[in-house]
């Protein structure tokens, strides 16, 4: 296998990765709550674990990668009611949008994508186990809560002590909680809520709390204990802390061996937020930048580091990615398999084995490109394209990348250029040559040169 070391948030140190079953890895990552478009922070998280997934597979592991969808939640209910649609309609639509965004960014689909609403029986069974161990109780308001003070290990992942967490807090008299730190496992139904979010239980009609969803789904698909659990740094507390309390409280043993958290996204060195007006959906970004440029921009930073989003950084990423593609221009690979014993490949693998260090891996790609520029060696071309492909880069031809870059720079994507060409063809067939010439001139102004072929088709290239 490999010499992989992973920074384990729980241990606060890099540790040699040893899977529970030789050659196999079970990995669970907290996915999206589906009620709106995914933003660049979501892209960063999914990209981080896409690269981890890719490297584990490249290292020879059989990976069972589970990334859930939360399709029942207060925000989901509120948005569906506002829209006058069902929960299912809302979540189906935004799941499709998420899949379109991740496909554009080259993010591989996980092995399994469970939806929370499919696992309510498992959640109820887990809550009953907790209740039998005096770790869950039903409050006067009907909600079933987790009794945090009865789980002495609470706070290990986040490094927070119960005394610190409780300082200055008091129980809200309007809830059924015994302690302000207790969190909800099962929410009692409200009269105003849609019937589709009301499930029967021994505690009355209700729906699951957010934290219990992941404990139930990860256990159902990976077992009571598994190798890797990941998500954004914002989930470390309270979500992942609460998952540990639930799963370890119920089963009496370790839940996860390696906890992995990716860093935050900042925008021009400020926290990204809608209130600051610096909030970008993936779709916003892809209207302006080629998807591979965005992917390359994200991979140039280590997954645990803060990622500073700005147009200047994306412009720089475009230029850097162009240099890699330029090295491949006019040089075809020799068709042989990737050689992991070659010098640059060894450096690439060492970087990836060191807690998935993509900045160092990318540096090895640039050194390889420099050599390729000098030698025009088909062997080096094969190595460059093969190594980059391991992390989802350089999977187009240089010409395809140049064409995409032209459209990107002009605010046009390939689909928009194809549409313009189709409109020009229709104008020519209608003998509206003035309109045909206008479209040609419009594209030329955007840096796109059309080349009409004898068979009636049209190619386009960079000006």
Q: Minimum mean pLDDT among 52-56, 251-255, 375-379, 396-400: which range?
A: 396-400
5-265 and 288-402 have identical folds = no
78-108 burial, b if ≥16 CB within 10 A, otherwise e?
A: ebbeeeeeebeebbeebbebbeebbebbbbb
Mean pLDDT of 97-107: 95
Residue 16 — very low, low, confident or very high, per pLDDT cuts 50/70/90? very high
Mean pLDDT of 281-295: 93
Cβ of 168: how many Cβ atoms within 10 Å?
A: 7
Predicted pLDDT at 99: 96
Mean pLDDT of 95-122: 96
Residue 396 token pair: 């187009």
Residue 43 token pair: 């892209």
Residue 28 near residue 226 (C-beta atoms within 8 A):
yes
What pTM did the predictor assign?
Answer: 0.87
**The Cα angle at residue 308 between residues 302 and 314, in degrees rounded to 5:** 95
Residue 125 near residue 219 (C-beta atoms within 8 A):
no
Pick among 3.40.50.620, 3.40.980.10, 3.10.20.90, 3.40.30.10: CATH of 5-265: 3.40.50.620
Among the listed residues 282, 195, 232, the one whose alpha carbon sits nearest the alpha carbon of residue 29: 232
Residue 219 annotated as binding site: no
Q: Strand 226-232 vs strand 265-267: parallel, antiparallel, or unpaired?
A: unpaired
Residue 274 annotated as binding site: yes
DSSP structure class, residue 21? B
DSSP structure class, residue 268? T
Residue 167 — very low, low, confident or very high, per pLDDT cuts 50/70/90? low
pLDDT tens string 318-349: 999 999 999 999 999 999 999 999 999 999 99
Predicted pLDDT at 52: 98
Residue 68 to residue 61: CA distance in whole angstroms? 21
Residue 457 to residue 418: CA distance in whole angstroms? 11
Residue 38 annotated as binding site: no
Distances (CA, A) of 240 to 26, 303, 350: 17, 18, 30
* Sequence-ordered list of residues with C-beta below 8 angstroms from that of 23, at least 6 positions apart, any chain: 1, 60, 61, 62
Residue 440 near residue 424 (C-beta atoms within 8 A):
yes
Domain 288-402 sits in CATH at: 1.20.120.640
Residue 5 annotated as binding site: no
Residue 243 to residue 187: CA distance in whole angstroms? 17
Residue 39 near residue 30 (C-beta atoms within 8 A):
no
Q: Assign 225 to helix, strand or coil.
A: coil
Residue 30 annotated as binding site: yes
Mean pLDDT of 397-403: 89
- Structural domain boundaries of the chain? 5-265, 288-402, 410-462
Q: Please give the residue that has the higher pLDDT: either 171 or 13.
A: 13
């Amino acid at each position: 296998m490999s010499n992989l070391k992973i920074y384990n948030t729980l241990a606060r140190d890099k540790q040699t990765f040893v899977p529970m079953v030789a050659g196999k890895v079970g990995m669970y990552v907290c996915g999206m709550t589906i009620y709106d478009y995914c933003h660049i922070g979501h892209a960063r998280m999914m990209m981080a674990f896409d690269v981890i997934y890719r490297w584990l597979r490249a290292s020879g592991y059989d990976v069972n990668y589970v990334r859930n969808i939360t399709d029942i939640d207060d925000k989901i209910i509120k948005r569906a009611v506002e829209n006058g649609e069902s929960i299912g309609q809302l979540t189906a639509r935004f799941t499709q949008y998420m899949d379109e965004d991740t496909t554009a960014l080259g993010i591989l689909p996980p092995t399994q994508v469970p939806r929370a609403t499919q696992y309510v029986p498992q959640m109820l069974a887990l809550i009953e186990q907790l209740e039998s161990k005096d770790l869950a109780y039903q409050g006067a308001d009907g909600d079933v809560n987790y009794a945090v003070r009865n789980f002495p290990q609470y706070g290990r992942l986040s490094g927070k002590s119960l005394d610190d967490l409780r300082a200055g807090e008091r129980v809200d008299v309007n809830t059924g909680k015994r302690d302000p730190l207790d969190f909800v496992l099962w929410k009692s139904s409200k009269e105003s809520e849609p019937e589709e979010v009301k499930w029967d239980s021994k505690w009355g009609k209700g729906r699951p709390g957010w934290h219990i969803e992941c404990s139930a789904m990860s256990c159902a698909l990976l077992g009571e204990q598994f190798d890797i659990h990941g998500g954004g740094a914002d989930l470390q507390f309270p979500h992942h802390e609460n998952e540990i309390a639930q799963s370890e409280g119920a089963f009496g043993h370790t839940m996860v061996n390696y906890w992995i958290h990716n860093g935050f996204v900042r925008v021009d060195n400020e926290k990204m937020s809608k209130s600051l007006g610096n909030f970008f959906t993936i779709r916003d970004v892809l209207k302006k930048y080629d998807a591979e440029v965005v992917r390359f921009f994200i991979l140039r930073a280590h997954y645990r580091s803060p990622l500073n989003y700005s147009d200047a950084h994306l412009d720089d990423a475009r230029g850097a990615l162009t240099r890699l593609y330029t090295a491949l221009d006019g040089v075809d690979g020799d068709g042989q398999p990737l050689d992991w014993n070659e010098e640059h490949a060894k450096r690439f693998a060492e970087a990836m084995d060191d807690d998935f260090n993509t900045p160092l891996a990318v540096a090895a790609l640039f050194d390889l490109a420099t050599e390729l520029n000098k030698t025009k060696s088909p062997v080096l071309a094969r190595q460059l394209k093969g190594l980059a492909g391991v992390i989802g880069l350089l999977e187009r031809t240089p010409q395809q990348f140049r064409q995409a870059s032209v459209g990107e720079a002009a605010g046009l994507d390939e689909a928009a250029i194809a549409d313009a060409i189709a409109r020009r063809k229709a104008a020519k067939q209608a003998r509206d040559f003035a309109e045909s010439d206008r479209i040609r001139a419009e594209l030329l102004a955007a840096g796109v040169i059309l080349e009409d072929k004898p068979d009636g088709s049209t190619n386009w290239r960079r000006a």
